[in-house]
Amino acid sequence: MSYCTNLDCPKPKNPPRITHCQACGAELILRDRYRALRALGRGGFGATFLARDESLPGHPPCVIKQLRPSADAQHILDMARDLFQREAKILGKIGNHPQLPRLLDYFETNNEFFLVQEFINGKTLQQEVRGGGPFTEAGVRQFLSEALPLIQYVHDNKIIHRDIKPANLIRRSEDKKLVLIDFGAVKDKVAPAQETADQTALTAYAIGTPGYAPPEQMAMRPVYASDIYAMGVTCIYLLTAKSPKDLDYDPTTGEMMWRNLVHVSDHFADVLQKMLEISVRHRYQSVEAVLRDLDLEPYMDSLAQNLAFPNSTSGRDDSKGDLNSSSNYHQLREGRNRESASSPSSRMAAAIRARRERANSRTGNSGPNSRQGMTTRNSRMTSGSRSGGKTKLTADELKQAYAKGRRDFSLLTLFALDLSKVTLSGTSFVESKLKKANFQNADLTGANFGRADLTQVALRGANLGRAYFTNANLQGADLRGANLNYATLSNANLKGANLCGADLTGARVSDEQLATARTNWATVYPNGKRGLMR
């Protein structure tokens, strides 16, 4: 089917392969290459369409975002053009992050403005909740551990998103990672456009979503903490399955009344309360502060490894969404990026380490057991809520939980589970007990096994690309034929592990570690060479 992008068209649906709308005569092929297939959403100032690029082999899908001003006055068109160009510039600037959609093209036609972006296939968090019900506290913690570093990346680029909500967070089908979409309400803090009284004609386009946007944003004075408020409201939605308009508000303070609707620990409730403060002064001022109070130490290493992206796109013209600039993007997606000391996740990790060291010095703990108190506290706080009070899961329970969107299985006992051929990409098994578990031919791309017990585990033929095994015990593990491309095995115990035929291209592992493992002529070493001699 071809879909007409004329918002006034009475019958926008058309047969495939025709070039002009049968109802209104409008062109159906935009820029001689993009054919809209269906509408994804409509608003007062435009619409969003699923389309395909007919100029490329295979006609890949894309998303076309249209902005049409509500008035034809020249000053309104000029303001719309400025807003449109600013959004295109911002998307070009930050779109190299693999959890943000790439800008592919942008153009103006007949006083209408079009952005073409990468299509993200998956379900929004709103759809996940509608299909599977509310999240547990552990599920929301896992969401925050994934989403907050992404928001930090946006903020580090001097940008406020201003429309964070469950409908704008998609869990991508191919790798189960969260992707933040719809930057139509973005605010560039570096060079914001001068606001005037005439700008009210476009205000609704850039103000965000009522209920998720805090008071200062509704007053057109957003700050970075405005996005933190929206994240807090998103958490309440995930916990209650209720949108902000369905919740009561304190008539005196204007605060959302949510505590009696959720079952979370007092500590987590306090964090949410501070994210949702009406007063900007009393709200969290940075993502790092939220992560610190959440005490997300089990995720510290994976954040540093998987979410450390450059803050600049060297050599790229930020005002253009040229398809030729995608090489850096694909390098990031392939895991070839290396952690930058100045990245936001590195700073988060350093801050958490420093706080842990200060805590240890106060309590007098040191050495390998210095984490005992913290681990115990984290176990009490999170492991019970991870599985409804259970510390053990069956294979079927784990598979069902993953299918419903859960990605955190840290600190659990998963001894000898049969999880062969399952897809568990992006999952956290930090400090879990997985001895003799069967992951043969499973998809564990990007999984975090930090400090996990993996003795005698079966990982033969498993996809472990970009997986994380720092300080994990892999003694006697069967890794024959496993894909360990760009995996991190720092300080992992590989004594007796069978790496015959395994592909370790780009992996972080020392020669001393490999000397303790079993290898053969078919083993591919980190330098990409095959054979017994490296």
Active site (catalytic) residues: 163
Handedness of CA 379, 383, 389, 394 (dihedral sign): negative
Half-sphere exposure of 108 (CA within 13 A, CB side): 11
SS3 assignment, position 171: strand
Handedness of CA 252, 256, 260, 263 (dihedral sign): negative
Rounded Cα distance between 464 and 459, Å, is 9
Rounded Cα distance between 254 and 368, Å, is 48
CA distances 238 to 102, 171, 231, 241, Å, are 27, 14, 10, 6
Backbone angles phi, psi at 179, to 5 degrees: -125, 130
Rounded Cα distance between 269 and 264, Å, is 6
The gap from C-alpha 117 to its chain's centroid, in whole angstroms, comes to 17
| Beta strand pairing call for 61-67 and 112-118 | antiparallel
Rounded Cα distance between 24 and 416, Å, is 64
Paired with 147 in beta bridges are none
Rounded Cα distance between 339 and 347, Å, is 11
State the binding site: 65
Rounded Cα distance between 29 and 114, Å, is 13
Judge contact between 98 and 106, C-beta under 8 A.
no
* Amino acid, res. 161: H
State the binding site for ATP: 65
Tokens of 281: 């002064």
Rounded Cα distance between 450 and 346, Å, is 17
For every residue of 9-70, DSSP letters joined together read -S--EE-TT-SB-TTT--BSEETTTEEEEEEEEEETTEEEEEEEETTSTT--EEEEEEE--S
